[in-house]
Amino acid sequence: PMRPVDHTIPLVPGAQPVSRPMYRLSPLELDEVKRQVTDLLAKGMIRPSTSPYSAPILFVGKKDGTLRMCIDYRGLNATTIKNRYPLPRVDDLLNKLKGSAYFSSIDLQQGYNQIRIEASDI
């Protein structure tokens, strides 16, 4: 769906595309890559890319014993313009909540996958 803001990845001027080779994966992990990628394609959460950039994947075990697929974007991160906006201190934020009567909490399931990417960055 359309969103008011699309995420973009600002690159350092003149940065060359980063393409890293795949990490070695076990046969079990290769099967899991196929399963997860097929599932994400079917759900429309990802699509084939012709980007000159590539990043290797790895897996991290979850508490329930399943595997979480992670992408190692350190190569891409090295070519991005850093956002230097300072994050607020947690104690300052908590002080602002002092005396409040209501608090809200949300759980964004697969929140990372809900971020729309600028078309030029795909």
Domain boundaries, the chain: 27-121
- Mean local confidence (pLDDT), 10-23: 93
Question: Region 98-117: what's the mean pLDDT?
Answer: 79
Predicted confidence at residue 78, as pLDDT, reads 94
Residue 114 scores a pLDDT above 80: no
Half-sphere exposure for 12 (CA within 13 Å, toward CB): 11
Q: Where are the alpha helices (DSSP H) in the chain?
A: 27-42, 74-77, 90-97
> pLDDT tens across 67-84, in order?
999 999 999 999 999 988
Mean pLDDT of the chain: 89
Task: Provide the CATH topology of domain 27-121.
Answer: HIV Type 1 Reverse Transcriptase; Chain A, domain 1 (3.10.10)
Give the global pTM: 0.74
DSSP one-letter code for 70: E
